[in-house]
Structure 1
Amino acid sequence: MEKPTTKAAIPAKTYIVNLDLPPQERWNNVIKHFDPNILKQGLNTLFKEYLPSQQLVPILEDVAKDLERYIPQPFADELRGLSKALGMKLGDLVLINIIYDVSAFNSSQIKACTSIVAYDSMGRIIHGRNLDYKVGDYLRELTLQVDYQRGGKTLYMATTYAGYIGVITGSKPNAFSITGDQRNIGSILQNLFSAVDHSWPTFFAERRVLEEASDYQSALSQILKTPTIAPVYFIISGINAGEGAIVVRDGRKVANVTTLSQSAHSWYIVETNYDPWVQAPATDDRRDAAINAMNKLGRKNMNPQQLYKVLSVDLVFNSDTTYTTIMSAADASVYQTMIRYDAPPPEELINT
């Protein structure tokens, strides 16, 4: 049988967000390039795939009515500005932006992401990630890079989706890079209690780290101290030897930290969606697939292009992968996101 044809991966476009503008105006230059109907059409799909119960929708709409209680500034006003620019209900945009916080818990079937931090052949630290979501067809059309600027200069780079103001993937030049991977423990009730208890929306916390921390150590310290609504794996890398870590958060507290210098592999760390000390299930062993590819490659051959290839091996790269980002805080020119239209369809993986 002839294999289905697939599209090639394409570079994500970069847009500037001027942090010197009033928060309600910051995203206008970005959002004008996207069809608001695509965002609206995708909402029902997001609700179906990621909300544990449709009964949460009214609760989340109530959050929008008392936004500052749950969403810190300036993010609350950025959401208000997006709501106006897109002609969308504020409650719907709030839902999009905290969808992770209501979908990461112990009975969730959602798995998303692979993150790798490694030394390259020149001793430089590079950081790569795949972002996997089941609604990939929708999200690929909304994937973009954002150059967050102050005073006309880049403060940090990030990869996100149009309409989403949190950061799951980002890098601050000459300082650190950071990614977030989903962790499924606890319960949805615990997440809701954490929200009421003024914990941070998980990926707003990550964006705040990129805006405020000046180097790897200060970023790591902030990650360790900031309570998040949902459990998460934060993977962080710096610019100096040994600056790499997987921070495992339960939400309001830290469960574990594994550093690059402590890694059993000595020159790299890998995180998918399972605790580092637990064997990944055979049904979703992206971790071992990545480890095998890294070991086969070897440190002496590692560079950004080779890391992209590791993130493109079977299992690690799959039909849910929306984008791959390769970055290095030590070299801002390395930052690149490819939108992954080129994954084989699920039926092809089964038949090969």
Structure 2
Amino acid sequence: VISMDKPSSNAAVPAKTFVLNLDLPPKERWTNVVKHFDPNVLKQGLYTLYSQYLPSKALIPIVEEIAKNLEDYIPQPYADELRGLSKVLDMKLGDIVLVNIIYDISAFNSSGIKACTSIVGMDKTGKIIHGRNLDYKFGDFLRNLTVQVDFQKGGKTLFMATTYAGYIGVITGSKPHAFSISGDQRNTGKIWRNLLSALESSWPTFFAERRVLEQASDYDSALRQVVETPTIAPVYFIVSGVNPGEGAIVIREGRKVANITTLGQSKHGWYIVETNYDPWLRPPATDDRRDAAINAMNKVGKNHFSPQQLYNVLSVNLVFNKDTTYTTIMSAADPSVYHTMIRYDA
């Protein structure tokens, strides 16, 4: 059983990797991951997550209704994966569903949540390196649930992802020799629009991202799927490929795309940065992670850019903050780069 206690020092710690076998029946897939955690502490972490991020208790009956008719809102095999988690964790299905769609009911205009920085850069040889910080409040619970998951089919890695035990969506992932993708929160629109999107067969946002990793075969097909798949909530999807210039920020308003900014269009030339604000707007002075990241990237320069330097950029003040739960560095061109550090040093 993984210790859920904070390490004795304040050092960053590599996330443990678990294999998820996609050839297993969906209800059995996550058992191998969650069995390594103390079930009581895991449940406490999940309950804390949704109790703190649930914008209104009025949503609980709606989620319980979704749980009763799960396939109407959440497609297979994800519906059965949630049922499997509910059984192995001995949690009500409605509670498991709530944890897994918490982003979709917390990303809207009046939400106070600001989370994440994603950067795609190109080194002097044209190699693409993609990194991200995942920032969330109540980070101590989430740091203790952070895992790398090796999604395998036929005994081979289909894609790598970083997630939280008990959460089946993907916010950070990379498909070897194909593409990498990360999601950043976008707070626009209204909560009722998200609920309408859910009723209109839109995808839970980070289930959509996982499906891209499962289905798309290269950067172009990943980008196309990200653009064409309606999501419940607004989001920034940051996609990178294996060839020079393959990088983009896709800004979704839920059911439609608001904007696409590519690496080639970037004023920086060799990198793009996304935090939680539309690129054409100034970030607020109270949360200017964007300029801190840009300044750090410019100091590094393209000629010295590397996975380690990107980790250093994601560790500068503001970009790295008390809410940073993990940092992942990945490169679809070089799958050995994929590495997640749990930021107990935050």
The TM-score by the shorter chain falls in which range? over 0.9
Is residue 138 of structure 2 the alignment partner of residue 135 of structure 1?
yes
C-alpha distance in 1 between matches for 2:291 and 2:329: 20
State the Cα distance separating 1:110 from its structure 2 match.
Answer: 0.1
- Conserved? CA contact 2:46–2:166, under 8 Å: no
Q: Deviations over 1:223-261 (max 9, x none)?
A: 000000000000000001111000000000000000000
Is residue 190 of structure 2 the alignment partner of residue 193 of structure 1?
no
State the Cα distance separating 1:6 from its structure 2 match.
Answer: 5.7
Q: Which position in structure 1 is the counterpart of 2:50?
A: 47
Q: Which position in structure 1 is the counterpart of 2:122?
A: 119
1:14 to 9, 14, 17: 17
- Conserved? CA contact 1:102–1:188, under 8 Å: yes
1:289 to 271, 288, 292: 292
Q: Tell me the C-alpha RMSD between the 2 structures.
A: 1.0
State the Cα distance separating 1:179 from its structure 2 match.
Answer: 0.1
State the Cα distance separating 1:39 from its structure 2 match.
Answer: 2.6
Aligned residues: 339
Q: Which position in structure 1 is the counterpart of 2:247?
A: 244
- Conserved? CA contact 1:116–1:269, under 8 Å: yes
CA separation of 1:50/1:234 partners in 2, compared to 1, >3 Å: closer, same or farther?
A: same
State the Cα distance separating 1:44 from its structure 2 match.
Answer: 4.2
Is residue 263 of structure 2 the alignment partner of residue 225 of structure 1?
no
Tell me the SS of whatever aligns to 2:104.
Answer: helix
Output aligned runs, 1:156-195, within 5 Å. 156-195=159-198
Is residue 206 of structure 2 the alignment partner of residue 203 of structure 1?
yes
The runs of at least 4 aligned residues of structure 1 exceeding 6 Å deviation read none
C-alpha distance in 1 between matches for 2:47 and 2:165: 16
Q: TM-score, normalised by structure 2?
A: 0.97
- Conserved? CA contact 2:118–2:132, under 8 Å: yes
Output aligned runs, 1:1-352, within 5 Å. 7-343=10-346
Tell me the SS of whatever aligns to 2:309.
Answer: helix
Q: Which position in structure 1 is the counterpart of 2:5?
A: none
- Conserved? CA contact 1:10–1:340, under 8 Å: yes
Unmatched runs of 5 consecutive residues or more in structure 2: 1-7
Q: Deviations over 1:247-290 (max 9, x none)?
A: 00000000000000000000000000000110100000000000
Amino acid at match of 2:164: Y
Q: TM-score, normalised by structure 1?
A: 0.95
C-alpha distance in 2 between matches for 1:341 and 1:135: 12
Tell me the SS of whatever aligns to 2:327.
Answer: strand
Amino acid at match of 1:36: P
Amino acid at match of 2:305: M
Tell me the SS of whatever aligns to 1:40.
Answer: helix
Residue identity over aligned pairs, in percent, reads 76
